[in-house]
Structure 1
């Protein structure tokens, strides 16, 4: 390919939608480092645009920050990563991989919320029709990870995943765990097998 054509392709201007997405993603990355103290100058420099470009996309920095925080709660790469789980692995291995993906997601979200001073996500993050539809899609993907092994469970696949996600959420939070985070293996073993010994230990007698 001639050099002039390569330069022309590299210089292709972004569409308004692409520019908006680029600014939102850039802002989200900076929020994880600087919190709400991030400036429009920092955003513009990181995005490789003039500072005035930001205000042709949004009306204020606060609007861009809100859009970035909302983006953080969208499934995004979570969907891709769940789809990459090797379904030919044993159930335990599949669940550990799923749990690891969820844990990384939760921990990144906790860190972001701490940085921006959030106690809980905004209602629209979970209650909008789009959010509900995406959540159902992610649930279906996770049920697909269990696959035919759902017949081995004593509860429905949805209930099993509900408990797995709850323990992953709690076990990934630094305050809930008093700083002793659970590993994906510990979480999966607890949900799959519980904490009883396979053979009860003999009771001590006086």
Structure 2
């Protein structure tokens, strides 16, 4: 059967922008920022020239797609759903797994974002990504806050350490994303590595 490009109905400019962004995100996961407008057009089911009817450049589209894909709101929503009545350790394990899933799922997109910011000296994108990090940090801090009296560091500092470890495990040269364990991570954070007397 002959392969035919999927055509979509005519859309308003803002709807067209959203459709192009949505079509670009899976390509970014697969190819990073080194994708072509032809690939985007085929994925969106439009003529290649349609892209430039709503975006000035391919880079402008890619930046919008990266920002959309890296929106932390789904993870924030999930963190907000963590039962605050659970013990601190259980809450932290669940929160750590959510953060790790976000980082692991977006590893290539984060690389793409860095490439765009460095190559284009894009201060606006850098600022938006920084705001996203602050929102994620605030949501994680809130998961910890009720038990701040149990901790030697403030909840915000504990949240920063957890994010740092998850980030290094995902993006760092010594990380092991496939072997990640939320329980081990939280144990490292809360218990440390020193064997204490009376500890099995």
Q: Of 41, 44, 49, which residue of structure 2 is paired with 1:44?
A: 41
Separation of aligned partners in 2, 1:113 and 1:148: 31
Specify the structure having the higher radius of gyration (Cα): 1
How many aligned residue pairs are there? 189
* Matching residue of 2:139: 141
- TM-score, normalized by length of structure 1? 0.74
- CA distance in 2 between partners of 1:37 and 1:30 (Å): 9
2:5 maps to none
8 Å Cα contact 2:170/2:177 also seen in 1? no
Matches within 5 A, 1:126-137: 128=127, 131-137=129-135
Cα shift at 1:157 = 0.6
Give the structure 2 partner of residue 84 of structure 1: 81
Structure 1 position 56, deviation (Å): 0.9
Change (3 A) 1:179 1:125: same
Question: How far off is 1:24 after superposition?
Answer: 1.6
Compute the TM-score of the two structures, normalised by the length of structure 2.
0.76
Out of 16, 28, 33, the position equivalent to 1:31 is 28
Shift of 1:93: 1.7
Structure 1 residue 63, shift from structure 2 partner? 2.5
What's the CA shift for 1:134? 4.4
Question: Does structure 1 residue 109 correspond to structure 2 residue 129?
Answer: no
Q: 1:142 to 1:117 in 2, by over 3 A?
A: closer
Q: Structure 2: any 5+ residue segments left out of the alignment?
A: 1-7
Partner of 1:124: 123
Deviations 1:100-147 (CA, angstroms, capped at 9, x unpaired) = 121122223322355x5956855636753x555544433332122113
The two structures, once aligned, show a CA RMSD in angstroms of: 3.1
Which residue number corresponds to residue 184 of structure 1? 182
CA distance 1:127–1:194, shift in 2 (3 Å): same
